[in-house]
Structure 1
């Protein structure tokens, strides 16, 4: 099975090294990894055209994959990387099995409450609201309910693990746990095994 490996690791200064580690782990569990870091982007005249080319290549890679394993570790804020979220939605819309991991154990509500510096109150409607009046999702889910729901509906799982802040995008322990779960649920054992 071809596993699309989604996540913000492509932005790391040592992206190739981390992606190669993820690729090797995916292979060791019996998957054929498909990684956005493996794309070759054609020369373009503008930055905008380059962005469109990368997007088209990523969509082509996702269309060639059978499942997704997405890194939902909060990236540049309280939620997962928006590109990874798009990729997860794309694969869920295709009906593919979906698995995810996060190197943060706080749920979505806890992270948003921290963002608001705990200035969260119960509104007259019974919903938690921030100082801006906006309601907070409070469903004891790792991420936005659409992400958790999409993964659960496709018989996937989200693995969370607390790691040191400097290891958020380097520690692959939760990723490997995802691979174990995906292999157990999706790959048939070899004959005679």
Structure 2
């Protein structure tokens, strides 16, 4: 119910328990986007996904590792953009490994700007 009542979402997509964003958070972002609502995200990790994956072409099973020069999986970042949102990346380390009040404020402002432009 709570997600259905939202007009948009701001998600912390900083890698958590691995090299990518938390799967539960990614599900929530996809759910919101699937409803035609805007999704904005932020990450404290400035590295591209491939760099976090060890900058290898393939994983230990021989699967190719994407190299789209994006902060995370192509579907996450492009999904945000297609919804009208965006992914904001920390310019410097924050006061906490997983959160920056300043980066969150920038996300809120981006959402306000998006809402005002509609």
In the superposition, the TM-score normalised over structure 2's length comes to 0.90
Q: 1:82 aligns with which of 23, 29, 48?
A: 23
User: Helix, strand or coil for the counterpart of 1:129?
Assistant: coil
Which protein, 1 or 2, shows the higher relative CO under an 8 Å CA cutoff with sep ≥ 6? 2
Q: CA deviation at 1:75?
A: 0.4
RMSD: 1.6
Mapped to 2, the partners of 1:170 and 1:104 lie a distance apart of 10
Q: 1:109 aligns with which of 41, 47, 50?
A: 50
Residue in 2 that maps onto 1:42: none
Mapped to 2, the partners of 1:88 and 1:111 lie a distance apart of 22
Residue in 1 that maps onto 2:71: 142
Structure 2 counterparts to residues 88-103 of structure 1, below 5 A: 88-103=29-44
Across the two proteins, how many residue pairs are aligned to each other?
Answer: 116
Mapped to 1, the partners of 2:51 and 2:115 lie a distance apart of 32
Residue in 2 that maps onto 1:171: 100
Q: Is the CA contact (8 Å cut-off) linking 2:44 and 2:99 kept in structure 1?
A: no
Residue in 2 that maps onto 1:160: 89
**Where does structure 2 lack aligned partners over 5 or more consecutive residues?**
none
**Where does structure 1 lack aligned partners over 5 or more consecutive residues?**
1-59, 121-127, 189-193
**Structure ID, larger Rg:** 1
Q: Would you tell me which structure has more helix in proportion to its own residues?
A: 1
User: Helix, strand or coil for the counterpart of 1:98?
Assistant: strand
What whole-Å deviation, never above 9, does each CA across 1:16-39 have from its counterpart, x for those lacking one?
Answer: xxxxxxxxxxxxxxxxxxxxxxxx
